Amino acid sequence: MAISLNDLRTVRADRPPRILIYGNEGVGKTTLASEFPNPVFLQCEEGTPGELELQSFGFLPDFNAVMEAMTALYDGEHDFQTLVLDSVTALQAMIFAEVCRRGDEHGNPKARIEDFGYGKGYANSKPVLREFQDGCDALRRDRGMAVVLIAHSIVTTFNDPETQAYDRYEIDLHKQLNGQITRDLDAILLLKKPVNMKVEDGKGFNQKRARAEGAASTIKIHAVGKPAFVAKNRYGIPESVIFERGRGYDALAQYLPAPADASPIKNAA
């Protein structure tokens, strides 16, 4: 069917959000994710913050278990509104293990992802990652679920061609998979404690010492990228928002699409 000007319509970002939350250990990533509407957790790494009670399938030991849990959420009766993966950094290791299990083009399994040679193992990981992403897309499209991915952070040196190299916070993912994961996300949020540097006189002639200071209980949700870190959003979330435990989602909700009611099973009578 030919497209004409009569097909034009107004569209807006009203579908459930796809968000990645990353940061250092213990900063509150899981806590923030738990505050999203009716969340269910896919736990790819063991350990739950002591103050939280989560709806979860328990520790999922491999990639196939993750996919089986997603299938159960797609097919089964439930009222969950948010899928939380904790963490995508751990899922990456599961994907590498699955690629090694499936083997090369001749079906020969490998012990390590590097054993494929010439970066082929990482290239082979992209279709497996796409299987997970297709599952997320199906839950979002057909079951009305928001998707929240939790990731760890790393500090890397960024070689800027226009200035000197500098350190920055980035998502702890291999560069071959990072772009595929983050490309279609609606928001990438960094949780970080603010740090102020205080320069003091040090011991010895003409020496200074820098000491980091910051409010121990203050954590910010950064939603706009800077040279020091990766972040973005499509919803007009301010550059940074104070994260108070128990109120983190409330601080973001005014900018996000309203959560959808749990959708019925696809093709259900």
Residue-wise pLDDT for 112-163, tens only, equals 999 999 889 999 999 999 999 999 999 999 999 999 999 999 998 877 776 7
Residues whose CB falls within 8 Å of the CB of residue 53, separated by 6 or more in sequence, listed in order:
none
Strand, helix or coil for residue 250: helix
Query: Look-up: residue for tokens 């005014």?
Result: 254
Tokens of 96: 């590498």
Query: Look-up: residue for tokens 């699955």?
Result: 98
For residues 210 and 198, the answer to whether their CB atoms sit within 8 Å is: yes
The pLDDT-based confidence of 197 (bands split at 50, 70, 90) is: very low
d(CA 168, CA 159): 10
- What domains, with CATH codes, occur in the chain? 13-253 (3.40.50)
Q: What Cα–Cα distance (Å) separates residue 198 from each residue in 35, 72, 122, 202, 203?
A: 35, 53, 43, 12, 16
DSSP 245: T
Q: How many residues does the chain have?
A: 269
d(CA 44, CA 62): 8
Instruction: Provide mean pLDDT across the span 199-215.
Output: 54
pLDDT for the residue 195: 65
Instruction: Provide mean pLDDT across the span 73-89.
Output: 97
Beta strands in 137-263 (DSSP E): 146-158, 166-171, 187-192, 196-201, 208-213, 220-222, 232-233, 240-242
In degrees and rounded to multiples of 5, residue 29 shows phi and psi of -60, -50
d(CA 267, CA 179): 34
The pLDDT-based confidence of 46 (bands split at 50, 70, 90) is: confident
pTM of the model: 0.86
